[in-house]
A and B are shown apart, each in its own frame.
Chain A
């Protein structure tokens, strides 16, 4: 498992489209003030567990950093209520599977952030703000 971390500050405008759905939704419960909503970080690791819980899902990802030290990242996602209507289930991410997650990191510098996008090893992207799958 190798850490691939791109810390690229981009203009909000670039990611605005990507975030439009996600941000406004989660705003119902809390603001994004704890996160750096400009910076994007991508962490690659192994899923430790998915908390399929309200008010947010939490993805816990085991990541090995540049120094070879294993760290657990906590990534906040949409609620299970929201995701279940958009093609997700509690087994969409399974413990042990590899995934790269792009997130807005916590300003505190802790190993955590809010989900922006993700990619599975087979190239499949995993979004949270997708279209409604149940009529």
Chain B
């Protein structure tokens, strides 16, 4: 009989006879061997008291931070040549979208024509123009997939008008993001960036401390809405520098490096977060009562059916 994962779970719930106990122990041994094999790659070790002491000496990033409305006063500037309409935002709303707002990727970049925008390589400028042309030929999307509760990738997820909590532990900085209940891991244990990472929303991040600044680099990005309005390659790297500018004020500078798409690093500007000592991160289950949606044609809808759908 195959000894599957569900059976392991089941064995936890009911008493085992001797045979089952032996099989369970064998499985446990196999699992721990596998863990060691994987572990040899990154060589993690149990943190020592000394490691924790070192964490205590790092800049105090602890607690809950928020950029405030629309990504805060320190919202990333220098948006590429994209307007509220061009990145899929409401075209009739009174406010420009926050910097971190997820946009459908790669729209109307304009080939880096604006001084404040990214400077695209000829190949990617052509790509941007093609995409802009394709967009112009269709009905402009009224919304993007965040309306369907799909979280935006990095860097958009860092610009949400919700707080984030920073957790510093030996070898890792963890960012708990309230918006969409998301989480980021920045490994500070000295491991290198992966050479061929699976593309994901937030990529794979490693970081190190340069004095009082946490410098993080992230690679491995899937082509998902992430608040970047120009076409980017799978070589894109996002560089973030986190540092305290006052006891309860943190600045994050974000720069995009992409040897295929950009002729020079594109500095998105800095964002300032304010620490709120009394806050805790709240639950944000977007699917709980989401009455917004956007369909494949980009048409946004509001569902007013069944007011009693929510139990709360």
Contact = CB atoms under 8 A, between A and B. Distances in A.
Contacts of A56: 289-292
Interface in A82-112: 82, 84-85, 90, 106, 108, 110-112
A34 B278 contact: no
B18 interface: no
Nearest to A113: B302
Interface stretch (B49-57, B140-148, B230-238): B140-148
A48 B148 CA distance: 26
A72 interface: yes
Contacts of A9: none
B289 A23 contact: no
A24 B69 contact: yes
A72 B304 CA distance: 10
Contacts of A16: 94
Interface residues of B, number: 49
Contacts of B279: 85, 134
Interface string A26-67: 011111111011100000000011011111101010000000
A34 B302 contact: yes
Interface residues of A, number: 49
A31 B94 contact: no
Contacts of B179: 28
A33 B312 contact: no
B222 to A, nearest CB: 20
B101 A20 contact: no
Most buried by B among A12, A27, A56, A132: A27
Interface of A: 12, 15-16, 19-21, 23-25, 27-34, 36-38, 48-49, 51-56, 58, 60, 72, 74, 76, 79-82, 84-85, 90, 106, 108, 110-112, 129, 132, 134-135
Interface of B: 69-70, 88-98, 100-101, 142-144, 146-147, 149, 160-162, 178-179, 276-279, 282-286, 288-292, 294, 300-302, 304, 307-308, 310, 312
Given A29-B147, A31-B300, A56-B290, 6 more contacts: A28-B101, A29-B286, A31-B147, A53-B289, A85-B276, A134-B279
